[in-house]
Amino acid sequence: CAAETGPAPGTGAGSRCLGWPMEWAVWFGTGALGSWIIGGKEVKPHSRPYIASIQLDGRHVCGGFLVWRKWVMTAAHCVIPRHSPAVRIVLGAHSLKYQEASQQIFSIRESIMHPHFNARTVHNDIRMLELNTTAIFNQFVKRIRLPKPNTDLPPGVVCRVLGWGDTSNFGTIPTELMETKTTIVDRKICKALWVGHVNKDMLCAASLNSTLQGVCSGDSGGPLICGGRVHGIVSFSGQRCGNRRYPDIYTRISKYISWVHDVLKRF
């Protein structure tokens, strides 16, 4: 999505993707290839201790979540270079308006994109970030459990998605962590709505409410939480944030457990 070589997912059907080369994604953080929470509510401060804010020059550009003491998972389309002094990962945050005492700030030692990530189709949209030092677990910073390998979610399962992304289609940016409920959509229906751009390595979810709810610019890389585990990574959404006509698309983490373990062994 947003690649220079070929159409974006949902072209002709209103996909919300970057209008620039994929390599610019982390710098602009727009589109829901780069998504933010719309129609959500502020969470209780520090009640989601696994959430990570990936920042460029102090500005939130992508979400992520802590899966091991030194590893944050995010989307591959969030192009995050290692060893860049301009990029940092913030754990233990609720408000991004100021630096809270609970926050732990890291630089990136390694940025590992899935080797088969396709910027045009957004397949295999998963990335692992190694922190420069180990996170200290406490009430503000904890890891989130991954799903069991190849676990799938049936239609109707209610999940939660959270982030610091846009809270409207007009670029309203929150400073506090936001969350909304979303419901898993049948993959066959989702594939038809997205004109074939959805595969078995993705999850689809949408709000059952008539109001707009879902992800929007800035939430990319954030977690889809179902039953206490993280099952998805925010990948892309429709042109109009929270529009049920085009369900939000998430990377299905359970399909990548073996790759994640391989990364942990190699680094």
C-alpha 151/C-alpha 178 separation (Å) is: 27
Selecting among 125, 166, 219, 248, the annotated active-site residue is 125
201 is catalytic: no
What is residue 246's predicted lDDT score, i.e. its pLDDT? Answer: 83
Burial bucket for residue 243 (CB in 10 Å: 0-12, 13-18, 19+)? buried
125 is catalytic: yes
Give pLDDT < 70 ranges for the chain: 1-39, 165-174, 209-218, 239-244
The letter for the amino acid at 117 is F
77 is catalytic: yes
Q: Which two tokens stand for residue 135?
A: 């996170």
What is residue 175's predicted lDDT score, i.e. its pLDDT? Answer: 81
What is residue 15's predicted lDDT score, i.e. its pLDDT? Answer: 39
Closest CA to 226 of 258, 184, 260: 184
Q: 3-class SS at 85?
A: coil
Selecting among 77, 94, 114, 197, the annotated active-site residue is 77
DSSP 199-213: -TTEEEEE-SSSS--
Helix and strand numbers, DSSP H then E, in the chain: 3, 17
**All structural domains of the chain:** 49-143+257-266 (2.40.10.10)
Cα torsion 23, 26, 30, 35: sign: positive
What is residue 24's predicted lDDT score, i.e. its pLDDT? Answer: 34
What is residue 241's predicted lDDT score, i.e. its pLDDT? Answer: 60
